[in-house]
């Protein structure tokens, strides 16, 4: 592993022009690690954005196969990071080595998956409507459409996934796949990790002959505003808090040229436990749900933060078992002091609310997150109580008991946008659940049946998004191959000679891709 320098990455070089430094910390002890990072100055942020802009014309003009080689080279470099790297990530995040090794595999796997997307070519979205000179009274011109990258993308690292949603994570992978250079804002919670991964990306860029400036990285607090406001930046990818995401959205909208922000922000991921399922396997559901709530100390954006059920003796017994299981769960070290403080504040707000009752969990102490269980009055959800809708990022969940199916529907109507919703059900429950599914489809990006939302598969069909406030734009996803769509835009060519068209639209179809030609899907040349 290379020496940690703590310098910003700009245009293929390193820069440390500022005098302000930020310290990397051991997540478990809070002690300072022997690594300092130079906070980027405004001039350095501008230089990073301009380096990305300078790289854009050359990078976007590269063939899809050449960009695929770059992504695969990044994946190889990530896989080659050794045990010393894993140890450093564990120290910065308090996450276990097995989790980090698995996340590294997911991160390199994402790169390889987007390389496959580039090679199969469907991302081009090629559409051709050939000229119809004989059409009367108005002849139709030759019209051809495909998609190109938006331009330089600013990506903000997430706290809870130091690899998969950070330096070379899904936003970076999908932006690079789309032909967009990246300026990455490193998260303060794992800056050593960010530098090691950035070095891997730069090595891959050099090995595959990418333009300098295809990937840049800056450190520091408060520098994100300069980045989002820079006119060279054409889109933003963000995973984090609702407050942070909204701030970025507002900044981007207020620019002379507004740009899209694809922010994944806040979700309580309700789990609906239906009557027949409780009768058949209530204890097992309580046990499985507890495991999902406390997994990774609850530090997942898909953590089940609300459990809803219809009043019955079985539901009462289920809640008792859930409380017992939650009481048995040990405290865990959280990602960093900021996450722990936010978790403590969220618990205090729940405990102070007159309509919410504490059911299980020891008081918070030390630097660890203690699992907690609460119960809220259903009227809070029906009336849209703000506190009940707020994500508490940590190992806690809130039970809501409704009187009957009608009240359940009213409660769900009051639910804000979510990443996920889960139905725990037997076949007899499902027979009467069409209205539940139709309602939840309007509220979430992913509907689960008899599973738990923690754990997000990286594949073509995954949707990790949802209506606001789960994300700032429900039309996209930050996980899966559809994520590339966020950083592409369509361009139409009218009456262009064949030699001036992009390869995706040429008559001979040199890429061999599937295209929509005169309303018919075909691989053929014209």
Active site residues: 264, 301
User: Can you tell me the distance from the alpha carbon of 188 to that of 195, in angstroms, rounded to the nearest whole number?
Assistant: 11
User: Can you tell me the distance from the alpha carbon of 264 to that of 468, in angstroms, rounded to the nearest whole number?
Assistant: 9
Sheet strands (E) in 111-251: 127-129, 143-149, 153-156, 182-185, 215-218, 235-239
**Helix, strand, or coil (residue 147):** strand
Residue count of the chain, please give it: 526
* CA 488 centroid distance within chain: 17
Burial of 303 (0-12, 13-18, 19+ CB in 10 A): buried
Tokens describing residue 97: 């080595």
Instruction: Name every residue whose Cβ is closer than 8 Å to that of residue 144 and which is 6 or more positions away in sequence.
Output: 126, 127, 128, 129, 492, 493, 494, 496, 501, 505
| Phi, psi dihedral angles at 70 (to 5 degrees) | -65, -50
Q: Note whether 131 and 57 are within 8 A (CB).
A: no
DSSP label of 480: S
Instruction: Name every residue whose Cβ is closer than 8 Å to that of residue 214 and which is 6 or more positions away in sequence.
Output: 52, 55, 59, 70, 176, 181, 182, 205
Q: Sign of dihedral through CA atoms 59, 61, 67, 69?
A: negative
Query: To which residue do tokens 């979430």 refer?
Result: 444
DSSP label of 471: B
Q: Note whether 164 and 170 are within 8 A (CB).
A: yes
The residues pairing with 471 across neighbouring beta strands, listed in sequence order, are 264
User: Can you tell me the distance from the alpha carbon of 523 to that of 199, in angstroms, rounded to the nearest whole number?
Assistant: 40
Tokens describing residue 293: 């709530």
């Amino acid at each position: 592993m290379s020496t940690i320098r703590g310098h910003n990455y700009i245009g293929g070089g390193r820069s440390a022009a500022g005098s302000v430094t930020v310290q990397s910390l051991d997540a478990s002890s809070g002690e300072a690690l022997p690594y300092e990072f130079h906070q980027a100055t405004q001039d350095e942020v501008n230089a990073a954005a301009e380096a990305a802009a300078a790289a854009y014309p050359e990078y976007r003009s590269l063939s899809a196969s050449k960009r695929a080689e770059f992504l695969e080279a990044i994946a190889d470099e990530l896989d080659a990071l050794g045990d010393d790297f894993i140890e450093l990530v564990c120290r910065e995040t308090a996450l276990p080595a097995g989790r980090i090794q698995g996340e590294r595999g997911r991160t390199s796997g994402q790169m390889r998956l987007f390389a496959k997307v580039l090679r199969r070519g469907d991302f081009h979205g090629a559409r051709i409507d050939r000229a119809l000179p004989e059409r009367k009274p108005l002849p139709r011109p030759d019209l051809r459409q495909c998609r190109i990258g938006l331009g330089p993308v600013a990506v903000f690292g997430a706290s809870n996934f130091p690899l998969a949603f950070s330096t070379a994570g899904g936003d970076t992978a999908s932006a690079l796949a789309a032909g967009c250079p990246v300026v990455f804002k490193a998260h303060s919670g794992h800056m050593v990790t960010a530098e090691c991964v950035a070095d891997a990306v730069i090595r891959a860029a050099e090995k595959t002959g990418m333009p300098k400036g295809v990937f840049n990285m800056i450190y520091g607090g408060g520098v994100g505003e300069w980045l989002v406001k820079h006119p060279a930046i054409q889109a933003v990818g963000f995973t984090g808090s609702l407050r942070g995401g909204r701030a970025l959205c507002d900044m981007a909208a207020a620019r002379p040229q507004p740009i899209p922000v694809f922010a994944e922000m806040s979700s309580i991921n309700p789990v609906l436990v239906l009557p027949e399922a409780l009768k058949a396997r209530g204890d097992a559901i309580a046990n499985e749900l507890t495991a999902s709530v406390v997994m990774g100390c609850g530090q997942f954006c898909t953590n089940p933060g609300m459990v809803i059920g219809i009043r019955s003796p079985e539901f009462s017994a289920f809640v008792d078992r859930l409380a017992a299981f939650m009481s048995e769960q040990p405290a865990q070290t959280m990602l960093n002091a900021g996450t722990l403080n936010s978790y403590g504040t969220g618990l205090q707000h729940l405990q102070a609310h007159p309509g919410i009752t504490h059911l299980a969990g020891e008081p918070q102490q030390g630097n660890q997150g203690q699992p907690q269980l609460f119960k809220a009055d259903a009227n809070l959800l029906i009336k849209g109580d703000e506190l009940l809708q707020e994500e508490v990022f940590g190992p806690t969940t809130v039970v809501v008991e409704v009187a009957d199916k009608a009240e359940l529907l009213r409660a769900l109507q009051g639910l804000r946008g979510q990443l996920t919703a889960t139905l725990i059900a037997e076949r007899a429950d499902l027979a009467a659940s069409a209205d539940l599914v139709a309602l939840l489809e309007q509220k979430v990006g992913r509907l689960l049946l008899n599973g738990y939302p923690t754990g997000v598969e990286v594949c073509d069909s995954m949707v990790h998004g949802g209506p606001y406030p789960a994300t700032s734009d429900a039309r996209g996803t930050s996980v899966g191959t559809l994520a590339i769509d966020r950083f592409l835009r369509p361009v139409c060519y009218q009456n262009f000679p064949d030699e001036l068209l992009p390869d995706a639209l040429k008559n001979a179809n040199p890429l061999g891709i599937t295209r929509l030609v005169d309303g018919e899907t075909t691989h053929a040349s014209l």
